[in-house]
Amino acid sequence: MGDEDWEAEIIKPHMSSYVPVFEEDRYSSGANGDTFNRTPASSSEMDDGPRRDHFMRSGFASGRSLGNRDAGESNKRENPSTLGAFGVGKRFGNKGFLNDKFEEGDSSGFWRGKESNDSEDNQTRNRGFPRRGGYQDGNDSEASGPSRRGGRGSFRGCRGGFGLGSPNNEFEQREGTQCTGGLFGSKRPTLSGAGNGDTYQSRSGNGSGRGGYKGLNEEVITGSGKNSWKSEAEGESGDTQGPKVTYIPPPPPEDEDSIFAHYQTGINFDKYDTILVEVSGHDAPSAILTFEEAHLCQTLNNNIAKAGYTKLTPVQKYSIPIILAGRDLMACAQTGSGKTAAFLLPILAHMMRDGITASRFKELQEPECIIVAPTRELINQIYLEARKFSFGTCVRAVVIYGGTQLGHSIRQIIQGCNILCATPGRLMDIIGKEKIGLKQVKYLVLDEADRMLDMGFGPEMKKLLSCPGMPSKEQRQTLMFSATFPEEIQRLAGEFLKSDYLFVAVGQVGGACRDVQQTILQVGQYSKREKLVEILRNIGDERTMVFVETKKKADFIATFLCQEKISTTSIHGDREQREREQALGDFRCGKCPVLVATSVAARGLDIENVQHVINFDLPSAIDEYVHRIGRTGRCGNIGRAVSFFDPESDSHIAQPLVKVLSDAQQDVPAWLEEIAFSTYVPGFSGSTRGNIFASVDTRKNYQGKSTLNTAGFSSSQAPNPVDDESWD
């Protein structure tokens, strides 16, 4: 299918065939083995350069060499300090790219209207304005950073934007209505996309394009429209304009086998011990080497054993004693290395020690612990972990998130709630409904903390902390975890933490997991689909996540792959929650071995046996790249990530990408280095949100020393006192 077909494809969505799954007559290459193409970029991978005009788009074969003669070569990086060479700043033959740049939506209208970026980060604002035919306007990037195609800078003004009246929450707030007090006084519909006129909404439901979805557990009711900034509560309870969400997620299985189901650690699990760990801040407790040293209660130890954990990961060795000692913590460790248990286990241990009694049925629940995460699927996963580790105790964990019936969330809570796992929008709604009181909160956890504090969720987090009853930071324990921690976000985080918080960095802050073999292929946008199909056919049935930059593209690529008889499903923010969960379920169980996803699935998701990640589109920010490829290569298992690099649109990421590859001791293609040189920016940060390569606790810029150790050996602490003034 040529690119000229894109518009036709999208304007006539495959309503009957969507959700795009082909189970029968499913393509099988028979290549279940290790047939993945790891050959460095060959000339055929290079000849997909930008086309001079639209006519040239027909047919994928008419590629043009980009003049990067060394594209077929790659350099094995032994020395991670490649970046020192960026000062050369020489230019290679890439400048022609710009001259015949093709604007993707020019003829199709698919991405027309660049100012109208409706990234999920931005939806709050964009949905405040009338839109027409969802496929004709705007870039619908879900990128967590500013969109690179057209949307660039569109919300830069929000940077560090605490206090802005216009929350830009990426995935969560989109479900509700809000912002009336902000820059954009309009409301958004409660159901994603439903009611905004997006023509393809109908694909998922009964064909009615406007608020027409009515699924098994859902109905759409138009509310009356009372003004309030609050996002979901009113929307879902019908107080405001917009449809009411009545989806009730199925309860998770209750049997012990399902609760403790887990996958095996991989061959590189023991190599975690060789990773350097840096602890900064003063009086850090020593790391522990074994679970026994944590002196957890018997029930917890039983649960740990049933979960298949026999050995601590580095982030657990350091974080568990720190949390047990009652200290605030910011911890940064590579994707898939066990951060969830690193905070859950000591919190549960404290709760058991404190003799938490089962909270009984009452209208207002006062949880001792609140955990927030940026996406619904992730918070649900954290909840399942909390349920697993608290099995057999009287600690009750509850999960609430957007896209589900508000009444269902309330019913879950009033049955008793010690640990509340929530997405921010739903949490604020429930607090607003006075179903949750904050007075008893002793532990506040921000998972994916850099995301939770950036311009998307930062304002919501601020609101949470200023809610009546929320204990001050001196009276609660605040814990932040992520695989990436841009400097700028670290500074913001200081506001939430006690001044003597500890910072644990396992390996390089913001570094990619070394168990993921990374390959970067130079592929022009019009050759991407062909290349994708080629790779997926080689992969066979191995589980693969394909990341694209926009929701519409996710639909399109999923449909395209189904047409190619590759069993595929998709997850993105314009899908109903029920569909999202179904898609994830189908992917998890292997029914659909290919999941096309936007950034909504980039962080935190822990899915067994994901062997490949393909970046069909590279993200706009390098931290996003690190999280995406971290969906594979988890817990010591080996994974592979292939990224299509289109010089026309991706050169901005070349430099940080080279650094991530070098640091992870991956091959760096010569052509990528050339592009990185030619786009050299002095003092580059690698992220739209500051330097993700903060190799250390940013306080060290002010205070001096920290401690460096390999995991498992306790550190000698002699750091200087923190400059309180900088943080409070």
Ligand X SMILES: Nc1ncnc2c1ncn2[C@@H]1O[C@H](COP(=O)(O)OP(=O)(O)OP(=O)(O)O)[C@@H](O)[C@H]1O
Residues that bind ligand X (CB under 6 A): 262, 265, 308-309, 311-313, 316, 333, 335-341, 483, 604, 606, 630, 634-635
Q: Which residues contact 257 (CB under 8 A, 6 or more apart)?
A: none
d(CA 229, CA 217): 27
Is residue 391 packed enough to be buried (19+ CB in 10 Å), middle (13-18) or exposed (0-12)? middle
Shortest distance in whole angstroms from residue 479 CB to ligand X: 13
* Chain residue at closest Cβ approach to ligand X: 338
241 vs 265, which CB is nearer to ligand X?
Answer: 265
DSSP 286-301: PP-SSSGGG---HHHH
270 vs 723, which CB is nearer to ligand X?
Answer: 270
Shortest distance in whole angstroms from residue 482 CB to ligand X: 7
Shortest distance in whole angstroms from residue 605 CB to ligand X: 7
Shortest distance in whole angstroms from residue 333 CB to ligand X: 6
Backbone phi, psi, residue 636, to 5°? 85, 0
d(CA 642, CA 644): 7
Burial track 448-462 (b if 16+ CB lie within 10 A, e otherwise)? bbbbbbbbbbbbbbe
634 vs 640, which CB is nearer to ligand X?
Answer: 634
Shortest distance in whole angstroms from residue 332 CB to ligand X: 10
33 vs 308, which CB is nearer to ligand X?
Answer: 308
Block residue for tokens 């040189």: 677
The amino acid occupying position 391 is F
DSSP 147-170: -SSS-TTTTGGGTT-TT-SS---S
Shortest distance in whole angstroms from residue 53 CB to ligand X: 42
Strands 667-669 and 74-76: antiparallel
Q: Which residues contact 665 (CB under 8 A, 6 or more apart)?
A: 77, 78, 80, 514
d(CA 693, CA 351): 35
316 vs 649, which CB is nearer to ligand X?
Answer: 316
d(CA 198, CA 209): 7
Shortest distance in whole angstroms from residue 197 CB to ligand X: 35
151 vs 619, which CB is nearer to ligand X?
Answer: 619
Q: Does residue 460 sit in helix, strand or coil?
A: helix
DSSP 571-588: E-TTS-HHHHHHHHHHHH
Shortest distance in whole angstroms from residue 20 CB to ligand X: 26
Shortest distance in whole angstroms from residue 698 CB to ligand X: 20
Shortest distance in whole angstroms from residue 342 CB to ligand X: 7
149 vs 612, which CB is nearer to ligand X?
Answer: 612
21 vs 331, which CB is nearer to ligand X?
Answer: 331
| Three-class DSSP labels, 81-95 | HHHHHHHHCCCCCCC
335 vs 688, which CB is nearer to ligand X?
Answer: 335
341 vs 613, which CB is nearer to ligand X?
Answer: 341
